[in-house]
Structure 1
Amino acid sequence: MALHNDKGKEAEDLVKTWLSGKGYEFQHANYRYGHAEIDLIFIYKGLLIFVEVKYRSGTGYGYAEEFVDSTKRKLLVKAADHYIHEKDWHKDIRFDIVGVYRDRNGNVNFKHFEDAFY
């Protein structure tokens, strides 16, 4: 596996643990439908939450949330629609982005964008 894939998987695991610690109920990781993939899916306060995780070792090239463009959003919505139908979900949903940032000392910080798009 390529180094960027390892970092992405590590970031997803960190976010899964972090959100679970905040009361989010983990449902699924790396849900795929066609060419689309949803990194993490949770239930929180009655909402089904689809989470896109973006890892950055710094902000020199931009912030994590800037890398979820309209094409990626459309793919995420398409996969979410399939998941909703598959699970027969009839309540509200939300799309979040979580940026994972590692500083020069190896410390990890999270930036959570709730209801980032739809």
Structure 2
Amino acid sequence: MSLSQAQGKLGETLASQFLEKQGFSIVAKNFRWRRNEIDLIVKKERLLVFVEVKLRKNQAFGRPEDFMSPEQQERVLQAAEQYVLENDWPHDIRFDIIAITQQTGELLHLPDAFY
């Protein structure tokens, strides 16, 4: 496993733990459709949330949440549409970002971050 993959796994683990403490249940991790991937899919009652996890060592080059490009948002949306179709999800959905800065230990949950 590369350093980048290990950091990604760490970020997803921290985000999963945080969301579970908030009452969400983990539905899927690293959901892939074609070349698109969603880090986490979580659920709380009748709300399905597609979560992008952004982890950075520090904020020297910007905040973690600022590293979500419009192209990446579009790829997440496409994968989410496929997930909703495959699972016949009839209720609300949302797109969140969990931004983690390792140096400070800061974890920021941004509900409805895009779309």
Tell me the TM-score range normalised by the shorter chain: over 0.9
Aligned residues: 115
Instruction: Point out where structure 2 has 5 or more consecutive residues left out of the alignment.
Output: none
Q: CA deviation at 1:44?
A: 1.9
SS of equivalent residue, structure 1 residue 115: coil
Q: Distance in 1 between matches of 2:64 and 2:37?
A: 17
Q: Spell out structure 1 runs of 4+ moving beyond 3 A.
A: none
Tell me the percent identity.
Answer: 37
What's the CA shift for 1:102?
1.3
1:9 aligned counterpart, secondary structure = helix
Letter of the 1:84 partner, please give it. V
Deviations 1:44-90 (A, max 9, x none): 24210000001011101111111111100110000000000011001
Q: CA deviation at 1:115?
A: 0.2
Alignment correspondent of 1:113: 110
- Map 1:82-93 → 2, pairs under 5 A: 82-93=82-93
Deviation at 1:31, TM superposition (A): 0.1
**Residue identity opposite 1:77 in structure 2:** L
* Structure 2 CA distance for aligned equivalents of residues 63 and 44 of structure 1: 27
Q: TM-score, normalised by structure 1?
A: 0.93
The 2-side partners of 1:115 and 1:44 are apart by 15
TM-score by length of 2: 0.96
For structure 1, list consecutive stretches of 5 or more residues without a partner in the other structure.
Answer: none
